[in-house]
Every structure is written in C-alpha cells, then in structure tokens.
Amino acid sequence: MMSKNHIKFFLMIALLATLTWTSCSQEYSPRGKGYPYLEVPKGHSYQRFQDAKCPFSFEYNTISRIERDSQLIVNEPKSDCWLNIVYPDYNATIYLSYKTPEKDYNLLKLRNEAHKLTYEHAKRADFIDPQLITTPNQVYGLIYKVGGAAASPTQFFVTDTIRHWLRGALYFHSSPNPDSLEPLIKYINVDIEHLIRSISWK
C-alpha cells in the first residue's frame, strides 16, 4: 500500500504529465523511398544484472551487453552504477544513470531534470507521451514515448521515492529515421518495460 508521500509524489507527476506538451505541429513533407529494412529478433530472452556495487538489480535482453559508463560528467558524483545496455548489432544503447536522492539530490529536482531532458527533444518530435509506472517492487515513475525524428525515442525514470533513483534513455547511433527504426524501437521498448518491471532495490 502506498504511503501518503508516495501518493502525493505521483499526484504531482500525474499533474505534470497532464499539463505538458503532448504534440507539436509540423508541416507535412513526403518521405523518401528505400529506407533500409531492419530484421529484429523474433523473441526476447532475459538475464539478471546484479552487482555488489549497485543497490539494484534488473533483467536485460541476452542479445545486449552491460558496460560501465566511463564518461565523466561535470558536477556529477562518480558512480559505478552508471551503466550502458548496448545492442551491438543494432547501434542502440540504453543509458542508465543511478543517483541517491537523500544523499546527493533533491527528489523534486531529479524529476524536473528528467522532464527537462526529455522535452529537449520536443522540436523534432511528433508527440511525447508520458505514462505512469508502478510495480509491486516499490518502483514508481514515468516512461516517455517520443514519436517522430527525435534522437531518443524512449526515456524513463523510476524511484522508490526515498533512497533510489534510476533514469534511462534509449539512443540509436545513426540518423533518427522513425520509419526504418520503428520495429526496433518497439522491440527495445518491450525490453525497457521488462527491465522496469524486474527492478529490485537493495
């Protein structure tokens, strides 16, 4: 059963999602022919990531691999739990960043930053659809589905609203062509939703 703080937090998220921009107008221009065909895998098979250094675990697709994020970010505490889920055959990566709200950050600030980072893609997006997330494992947050030629078609954040914060963003290391990438985006979105449902905090 969710506490009053959880309910208040998610009422704020719901209000934010309701008030935000969900579509943008773009002039129609015919698309060219001959986009490359991407053959996506036929099914999903998962394995669990768990590491003594990280206070969470989750399941990820066996066709991908986990890499430590070695990028140094100004004004960000160094963390061994910033991870990249790399799909080497598809030039795609889910970037995961973990933070501790009570130690390093204010939860409201983290939520606002995640929202801002997602809506930076609004200029190239046809729409941004935020969807509330809740699981029995005290995982609460938002997943943003971004339509159109945005650089990142899916972003999300999840938290237990007390000690844990995990943000993710899917990127393709190629020109963002939604027509040819759509089947693969849908495939990886299934993986992202599974990852979220399988998260367990420590």
- The pLDDT tens digits of the residues spanning 140-154 come to 999 999 998 888 999
Give the residue-averaged pLDDT of 79-105. Answer: 90
- How far, in Å, CA of 199 to CA of 202, rounded? 10
Q: Is 170 part of any domain?
A: yes
Confidence tier at 123 by pLDDT (50, 70, 90): confident
- Provide the pLDDT for residue 3: 61
- Residue predicted with more confidence, 64 or 118: 64
End-to-end CA distance of the chain: 19
- Provide the pLDDT for residue 121: 79
Look-up: residue for tokens 């022919």?
33
- Provide the pLDDT for residue 149: 85
Q: Is 139 part of any domain?
A: yes
pLDDT in tens, 171-185: 998 876 777 899 999
Q: Is 14 part of any domain?
A: no
Q: Is-contact 194 144, C-beta < 8 A?
A: no
Percent with pLDDT over 70 in the chain: 76
Per the DSSP assignment, residues forming a β-bridge with 56 are: 201
Other CB atoms within 10 Å distance of the CB of residue 113: 15
Residue type, 167: R
Q: Is 28 part of any domain?
A: no
Residue type, 142: L
Which pair of tokens denotes residue 133?
A: 């997330």
- How far, in Å, CA of 97 to CA of 105, rounded? 13
Q: Is 158 part of any domain?
A: yes
pLDDT in tens, 31-50: 444 445 578 889 999 999 99
Is the model's pLDDT at 117 over the cut of 70?
yes
- Provide the pLDDT for residue 31: 43
- Provide the pLDDT for residue 34: 42
DSSP state of 62: T
Q: Is 12 part of any domain?
A: no
Highest mean pLDDT among 20-29, 107-116, 163-172: 163-172
Q: Is 106 part of any domain?
A: yes
- Provide the pLDDT for residue 79: 75
DSSP state of 182: H
- How far, in Å, CA of 175 to CA of 124, rounded? 12
CATH code of the domain containing 171: 3.40.1000
Confidence tier at 30 by pLDDT (50, 70, 90): very low
pLDDT in tens, 65-78: 999 987 655 456 66
Percent with pLDDT over 90 in the chain: 55
- Provide the pLDDT for residue 193: 97
How many domains in the chain? Answer: 1
Other CB atoms within 10 Å distance of the CB of residue 61: 22
Q: Is-contact 162 170, C-beta < 8 A?
A: no
Domain, as residue range, for 86: 46-70+78-201
Q: Is 186 part of any domain?
A: yes
- Provide the pLDDT for residue 35: 46
pTM: 0.80
